């Protein structure tokens, strides 16, 4: 399966971000803690150039705690400022202004030394669709000012938003890159809902999810769906289908004759997975290759 996505509003969003760079002091790059590399737009480095940057690993409460620690160490090792957040619950959000202030300390100190009263810090929030930008902004602003939704592409324009901690935020639409050269990246993004399901084969996505998760989190399938025997050969598609059929039977995804509706079972599994009902999981490690 080849996944390509570059709607016109994403091209426009890139131009808008580039036009606004001169107005901002720092960029806040929002990633999904469950797939930090796959949710990282490779065009962002070119777009932001040398702007100071704070990497936020959002949805960290849904991610594997041990993998959160590994990803923090990875990004710190790359020389980045990085912070764990869960915008939905508010965990880690209140520390963001202080993190930004640390990044801008040299600039602020120079302004104070010149007798200037530093103005509010201005930050640009960037990230792919459905990574939680608007939810984070609403948390930081203390009110519902940015549109949110459980589907990609909700934010269409740009707006400055005042928050506490002497920080102003600029929200931007999520932008994906033109083509996923590594199809594994496309699958991972699809599992978490960063790509509209309308352009995908939902069964392919669910089967990929099952194959990956059985490797590291197999006991959860046994417990949640009453699967007595987990597959021994994850490369055998028949064994993955058997797991999906067990999920479908457990959730009543049946058609005439008692057969399992695999499409319905796939949608059910992905919904439960995204809602955290199978527990905390991470889809890639810092050493993930493809």
- 129: which strand partners? none
Tell me how far apart the alpha carbons of residues 62 and 88 are, in angstroms, rounded to a whole number.
Answer: 10
Q: Is the pLDDT of residue 108 over 60?
A: yes
The predicted pLDDT at position 152 comes to: 41
Domain extent, residue 251, equals 202-275
Residues 165 and 206 in one domain: no
**Is 150 domain-assigned?**
yes
Residues in Cβ contact with 69 at an 8 Å cutoff, skipping those fewer than 6 apart: none
Q: Is the pLDDT of residue 258 over 60?
A: yes
Q: Is the pLDDT of residue 17 over 80?
A: no
Q: Is the pLDDT of residue 267 over 50?
A: yes
Q: Is the pLDDT of residue 111 over 50?
A: yes
Where is the binding site, in residues? 58-61, 130-135, 174
Where is the binding site for GTP, in residues? 58-61, 130-135, 174
pLDDT digits 0-9 by tens, 49-75: 889 999 999 999 999 999 999 999 999
End-of-domain residue from the set 153, 170, 187: 170
Q: Rounded mean pLDDT of the chain?
A: 86
Average pLDDT, integer, range 133-155: 68
**Is 76 domain-assigned?**
yes
Residues 164 and 212 in one domain: no
The predicted pLDDT at position 199 comes to: 67
Residues 161 and 213 in one domain: no
Residues 210 and 157 in one domain: no
End-of-domain residue from the set 170, 194, 218: 170
pLDDT digits 0-9 by tens, 219-243: 999 999 999 888 988 889 999 999 9
Residues 124 and 22 in one domain: yes
The predicted pLDDT at position 9 comes to: 54
* pLDDT > 90: percent of the chain: 55
Average pLDDT, integer, range 80-108: 95
**Is 160 domain-assigned?**
yes
Residues 166 and 208 in one domain: no
Tell me how far apart the alpha carbons of residues 83 and 68 are, in angstroms, rounded to a whole number.
Answer: 10
CATH number reported for the structural domain that contains residue 266 in this entry: 1.10.1580.10
Residues 152 and 31 in one domain: yes
CATH number reported for the structural domain that contains residue 21 in this entry: 3.40.50.300
Residues 220 and 138 in one domain: no
The predicted pLDDT at position 75 comes to: 96
**Is 187 domain-assigned?**
no
- 161: which strand partners? 169
151 pLDDT band (50/70/90 cuts)?
A: very low
The predicted pLDDT at position 21 comes to: 85
Element (H, E) at 84: strand 81-84
Residues 32 and 133 in one domain: yes
Residues in Cβ contact with 18 at an 8 Å cutoff, skipping those fewer than 6 apart: 47
End-of-domain residue from the set 170, 189, 210: 170
pLDDT digits 0-9 by tens, 160-173: 788 877 899 987 66
Average pLDDT, integer, range 135-145: 85
Element (H, E) at 161: strand 159-163
* Helices and strands, number each (H, E), in the chain: 10, 6
Of 246 and 228, the structure prediction assigns the larger pLDDT to 246
Tell me how far apart the alpha carbons of residues 258 and 56 are, in angstroms, rounded to a whole number.
Answer: 46
Residues 85 and 162 in one domain: yes
Q: What's the Cα-to-Cα distance from 203 to each of 142, 198, 206, 283, rounded to whole Å?
A: 39, 12, 5, 18
**Is 1 domain-assigned?**
no
Q: Is the pLDDT of residue 46 over 90?
A: no
Tokens for 35, please give them: 């797939």
**Is 180 domain-assigned?**
no
Residues 113 and 237 in one domain: no
The predicted pLDDT at position 61 comes to: 95
Residues 104 and 63 in one domain: yes
The predicted pLDDT at position 171 comes to: 72
The predicted pLDDT at position 182 comes to: 74
Average pLDDT, integer, range 83-101: 95
H-assigned helices in the chain:
8-20, 44-48, 65-77, 96-103, 105-113, 133-141, 183-192, 202-225, 237-250, 262-274
**Is 58 domain-assigned?**
yes
**Is 260 domain-assigned?**
yes
> How many domains does one find in the chain?
2
């Amino acid at each position: 399966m080849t996944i390509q996505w570059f709607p016109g509003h994403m091209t426009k969003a890139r131009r808008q971000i580039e036009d606004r760079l001169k107005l901002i002091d720092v960029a806040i790059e929002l990633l999904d803690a469950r797939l930090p590399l796959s949710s990282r737009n490779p065009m962002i480095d070119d777009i932001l150039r040398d702007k100071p940057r704070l990497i936020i690993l959002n949805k960290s409460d849904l991610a594997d705690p041990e993998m959160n620690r590994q990803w923090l160490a990875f990004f710190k090792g790359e020389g980045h400022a990085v912070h764990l957040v869960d915008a939905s619950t508010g965990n880690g959000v209140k520390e963001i202004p202080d993190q930004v202030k640390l990044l801008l300390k040299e600039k602020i100190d120079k302004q104070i030394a010149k007798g200037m009263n530093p103005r509010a810090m201005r930050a640009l929030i960037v990230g792919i669709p459905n990574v939680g930008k608007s939810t984070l902004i609403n948390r930081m602003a203390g009110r519902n000012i940015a549109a949110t939704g459980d589907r990609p592409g909700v934010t269409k324009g740009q707006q400055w938003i005042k928050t506490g901690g002497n920080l102003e935020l600029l929200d931007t639409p999520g932008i994906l890159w033109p083509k996923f050269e590594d199809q594994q990246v496309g699958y991972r993004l699809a599992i978490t809902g960063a790509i509209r399901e309308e352009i995908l084969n939902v069964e392919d996505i669910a089967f990929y999810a099952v194959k990956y998760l059985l490797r590291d989190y197999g006991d959860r399938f046994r417990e949640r769906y009453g699967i007595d025997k987990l597959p021994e050969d994850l490369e055998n598609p028949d064994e993955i289908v058997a797991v999906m059929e067990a999920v479908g039977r457990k959730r009543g995804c049946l058609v005439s004759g008692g057969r399992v509706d695999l499409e319905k079972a796939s949608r059910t599994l992905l919904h439960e997975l995204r809602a955290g009902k199978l527990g905390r999981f991470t889809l890639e490690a810092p050493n993930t290759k493809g």
